[in-house]
Amino acid sequence: MLLEAYRQGLFPMGMDDGDVGWFSPNPRALIPLDERFHIPRGLRRRLRKNPFTCTVNRNFRQVIRACATVHGETWISPEILHAYTALHRAGHAHSVEVWQGEDLAGGLYGVSLGGAFFGESMFHTVTDASKVGLVYLVERLRERGFQILDTQWTTPHLTQFGTFTVSREAYLKKLRKVVAMPCRFA
């Protein structure tokens, strides 16, 4: 059901009352996977020093749990956590882990479907660690021919990377094409 929802431009979120709501924002926020992707100057300096190591799918469960507990309140309900863990086991949900030594300093997770990656959540315990994970994600998606990095809504945090919005109609038109692509995230 989750994969079909993504194909239709929908995604779930846990609600305050414990239910799960389905959303399809208009407009939809995307991070560019071309030259419009912007790495802020301070982050560029941080990347040159590179105190982090990035891995993929090394500890999905730890990443999603960290995303669920970042601010005390979250859309990641136990039901959502269970569903995305099952998607991970099926090869559709993935994590990027950002390590500082042996410690998980940040990360993100999302769902891949054809040439689309749907970013779900990110966290950090060390400054810039989630941003480093995002840069790593964009590089990985570019290498593998992905066409969409969906962030659902825009936030001030994501705007600095060149996030832009498109109408729901334009998003769904592009989505129909890219979900049929033979891209593989892992």
Q: Give the whole-angstrom CA distance, residue 22 versus residue 26.
A: 13
The rounded mean pLDDT for the chain is: 93
The fraction of the chain above a pLDDT of 90, given in percent, is 83
Instruction: Say what the pLDDT of residue 51 is.
Output: 86
CA distance 91 to 185: 9
pLDDT at 177: 97
Q: Where are the domains of the chain?
A: 27-178
Distance CA 3, CA 25 (A): 17
Running DSSP on this structure, what letter comes out for residue 155? -
**What does DSSP assign to residue 186?**
-
Give the per-residue pLDDT at 71: 56
Where do the DSSP E strands lie in the chain? 11-14, 20-23, 28-30, 53-56, 93-100, 103-113, 116-124, 148-152, 164-166
Q: Which CATH architecture has domain 27-178?
A: 3-Layer(aba) Sandwich (3.40)
**pTM reported for the whole predicted model:** 0.95
Range 88-100 average pLDDT: 97
Of 9-18, 96-105, 168-177, the least confident: 9-18
Cα gap 2→173, rounded to integer Å: 19
